[in-house]
Amino acid sequence: IRRHFDSAAWRISAAQTAVFAGMAIGGLAVSFKGRFKSKLRTIRMSGFLVALGTLGLALIGFFDSPLFGLFIALALALGIVVPFYTTAVTTFFQEEVEKAYHGRVFSLLYMIGSAAIPLGAIIFGPLADLFPITSLLFFTSAAQILILLVSWKSIPRESGKEEPDPL
């Protein structure tokens, strides 16, 4: 935010508030929606939406958009998607993993999730000093889209059924 818009503290606060508000809205939407028909499809679709949102952030930087409001709207939208992903992942593991292994699996899952932000800062902090942040956002979102497309073919749907081609 500081590199693209300016270093005013309110901009960082606004971005964090937008993500939080989006997560609250998304959480309410998930609670009203109830059960997911296909958890893997929800995981893939929310991952794809996050990748598109990250690509949108990169494009804001590439085109040097002064529209901070657009950035905030994108942060809000990304926040809305997060509860769909986390809820689908959690319920998927609850249903697919034997109850005797729930503690181990969820400990590992939350350990990985807790390590993601510090590990991301350790890896991408120095990279952001070497490369433009917009390039990092572009390449990471492209990599995520590629991984999702490969997983669509290689990981079947629930119940062992193959999932149709996304295109």
- Domain with 49, as residue range(s), is 9-96+132-156
Q: Is residue 89 part of a domain?
A: yes
Q: At what angle do helices 9-33 and 68-96 cross, to 10 degrees?
A: 40
Q: What pLDDT, in 10s, does the model give residues 70-126?
A: 888 999 999 999 999 999 989 889 888 999 999 999 999 889 989 988 998 999 889
Higher model confidence: residue 48 or residue 59?
A: 48
CA-wise closest residue to 57 among 122, 124, 133? 133
Average the pLDDT over each of 12-21, 108-117, 126-135, 148-157 and give the range with the smallest value. Answer: 148-157
Rounded Cα distance, 7 and 52, in Å: 26
For the chain, the average pLDDT equals 85
The mean pLDDT value for 31-40 works out to 84
Assign residue 159 a region: left if phi > 0, alpha if psi is -120 to 50, beta otherwise?
Answer: left
Q: Is residue 111 part of a domain?
A: no
Number of domains in the chain: 1
Tell how far CA 136 is from the center of its chain: 15
Rounded Cα distance, 79 and 82, in Å: 5
Q: Is residue 50 part of a domain?
A: yes
CA-wise closest residue to 88 among 144, 135, 50? 50
Rounded Cα distance, 12 and 79, in Å: 15
Q: Is residue 137 part of a domain?
A: yes
Q: Is residue 121 part of a domain?
A: no
Q: Is residue 19 part of a domain?
A: yes
Q: Is residue 34 part of a domain?
A: yes
